[in-house]
């Protein structure tokens, strides 16, 4: 029996793009055992819970999970799911593809986003009628674990070229958050030094100015949680939107893969959603499970289709999700 993969379509176009990604995975006949699970707005309506305990447990016990998107309940679904797979890093590649309209076609950046703390560990409170607080948390241990991952990532040659040679850039706001982002920055840079990996740093606001001006300055970018959220979404805007961006939430012996896009309610249910981000998330899943060759074949097929195959409406075409998916499967 092969690896157990939990499949959560979620809401909106999640119900269209996840089946497309599954079709691609099934084309390899790797003996995966797919287990469906429910989460999202519709699940909350039906059961009272956006993320039922059963789904959480399934994801926690699986070898990997493929997730689509959730609507209003997104945070209630995705944040616990990241926890279920014990994920400490969110890997978010943002690259432009030849032939796809992009504000900055030279963009090729991978964000390694801390995935457990910062404002997301969420100790919030209403202290008075007038005042609320949120306590942001940064630990050396989480910062160092992320940095170790980043060092391996660049040493394995998995990062794009750009930024310090074979190294990475740390983006942070340690000039204001001196103690917390200062700790993050110091730990990440010190791990890089111990590992002999080149690393430089950039204030996150300066990064937000400089990325659009010249994305080729950057390759692998290591960030605290919220910084990684915003800066990777900025990069998405430069490569032409969210329709192409996959992501991996990697844990110690489990992982969760999801397109960066949401449920796209304006086009949901019409069969015209772009499956690319979900299919590329499946490619990341294959690579994570050590099916590197298969993952590469998926990437090549996707690139081929993007350059001269059918396109969905978001890329200026009029193909359906099924047509694009069939074209990808055809090229595997």
Ligand X SMILES: CC(C)[C@H](C(=O)O)[C@@H](O)C(=O)O
| Residue 317 vs residues 308, 311, 313, 323: alpha-carbon distances, Å | 11, 5, 5, 11
**Is residue 233 near a second copy by the rule CB under 8 A?**
yes
x/- mask, a second copy, residues 136-175, rule CB under 8 A, reads xxxxxx-------------------------------x-x
In the set 19, 27, 166, 183, which binds a second copy (CB under 8 A)? 183
Residue 124, classified by CB atoms within 10 Å of its CB into exposed (0-12), middle (13-18) or buried (19+), is exposed
Q: With CB cut-offs between 5 and 8 Å by kind, which of ligand X, a second copy, none does residue 237 bind?
A: a second copy
- What CA–CA distance (Å, rounded) separates 48 from 57? 17
Q: Pick left, alpha or beta for residue 302 (phi over 0 → left; psi -120 to 50 → alpha; otherwise beta).
A: alpha
Q: How far is the CB of 240 from a second copy (least distance, A)?
A: 8
Smallest gap, in angstroms, from Cβ of residue 38 to ligand X?
18
Nearest to 3 by CA among 68, 66, 56: 66
Q: How far is the CB of 323 from a second copy (least distance, A)?
A: 25
Active site residues: 120, 173, 205, 229, 233
Burial of 215 (0-12, 13-18, 19+ CB in 10 A): buried
**Interacting partner of 78 out of a second copy, ligand X, none (Cβ under 5 to 8 A depending on kind):** ligand X
Under rule CB under 6 A, residue 134 binds ligand X: no
Residue 293 touches ligand X, criterion: CB under 6 A? no
Asked if residue 229 binds ligand X (CB under 6 A), the reply is: yes
Using CB under 8 A as the binding rule, whether residue 120 contacts a second copy is answered as yes
Residue 145 has a CB neighbour count (10 Å cut-off) of 18
Binding letters toward ligand X, positions 64-103, x by CB under 6 A:
----------xx--xx------------------------
State CA 5 to chain mean position distance. 17
Nearest to 158 by CA among 202, 230, 212, 220: 220
In Å, how far are 20, 193, 298 from 27, measured between CA atoms?
Answer: 11, 43, 10
240 is an interface residue for a second copy by CB under 8 A: yes
Concatenated DSSP letters of 76-118? HHHHHHHHHTTEEEEEEEEE--TTS--SSTT-EEEEEEE-S-E
Asked if residue 106 binds ligand X (CB under 6 A), the reply is: no
Position among 30, 35, 234, 332 found at the interface with a second copy (CB under 8 A)? 234
| Residue 183 vs 195, nearer CB to a second copy | 183
Eight-state DSSP code of residue 314: G
Structure tokens given for 313: 């409406």
Q: How many residues sit close enough to ligand X to count as binding (CB under 6 A)? A: 8
204 binds a second copy (CB under 8 A): yes
Q: Does residue 175 bind ligand X (CB under 6 A)? A: yes
Interface with a second copy by CB under 8 A: which residues?
Answer: 74-75, 79, 103-104, 119-120, 122, 124-126, 129-141, 173, 175-180, 182-183, 204-206, 208-213, 226, 229-231, 233-234, 236-238, 240-242
Interface with ligand X by CB under 6 A: which residues?
Answer: 74-75, 78-79, 175-176, 205, 229
């Amino acid at each position: 029996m092969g690896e157990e993969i939990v499949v959560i379509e979620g809401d909106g176009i999640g119900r269209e793009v996840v089946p497309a990604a599954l079709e691609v995975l099934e084309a390899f006949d790797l003996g995966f055992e797919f287990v469906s699970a429910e989460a999202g707005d519709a699940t909350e309506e039906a059961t009272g819970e956006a993320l039922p305990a059963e789904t959480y447990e399934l994801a926690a016990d699986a070898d990997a999970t493929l997730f689509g998107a959730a609507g209003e309940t997104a945070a209630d679904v995705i944040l616990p799911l990241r926890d279920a797979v014990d994920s400490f890093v969110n890997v978010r590649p943002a690259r432009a593809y030849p032939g796809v309209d992009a504000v900055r076609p030279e963009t090729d950046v991978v964000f390694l986003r801390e995935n457990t703390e910062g404002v997301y560990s969420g100790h919030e409170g209403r202290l008075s009628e007038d005042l609320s607080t949120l306590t942001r948390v940064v630990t050396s241990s989480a910062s160092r674990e992320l940095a170790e991952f980043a060092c391996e990532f660049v040493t394995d040659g998995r990062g794009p070229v750009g930024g310090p040679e074979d190294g990475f850039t740390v983006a942070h706001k340690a000039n204001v958050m001196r103690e917390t982002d200062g700790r993050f920055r110091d730990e990440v840079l010190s791990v890089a030094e111990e590992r002999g990996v080149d690393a430089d740093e950039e204030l996150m606001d300066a990064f937000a100015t400089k990325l659009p001006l010249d994305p080729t300055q950057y390759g692998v970018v290591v960030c605290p949680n919220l910084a990684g959220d915003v800066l990777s979404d900025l990069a998405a805007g430069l490569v032409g939107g969210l329709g192409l961006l996959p992501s991996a939430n990697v844990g110690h012996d489990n992982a969760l893969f999801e397109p960066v896009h949401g449920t796209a309610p304006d086009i949901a249910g019409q069969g015209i959603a772009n499956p690319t981000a979900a299919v590329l998330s499946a490619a990341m899943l294959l690579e994570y499970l050590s099916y590197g060759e298969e993952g590469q074949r998926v990437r090549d097929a996707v690139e081929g289709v993007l350059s001269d195959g059918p396109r969905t409406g978001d890329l200026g075409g009029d193909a359906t999700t099924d047509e694009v998916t069939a074209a990808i499967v055809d090229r595997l």
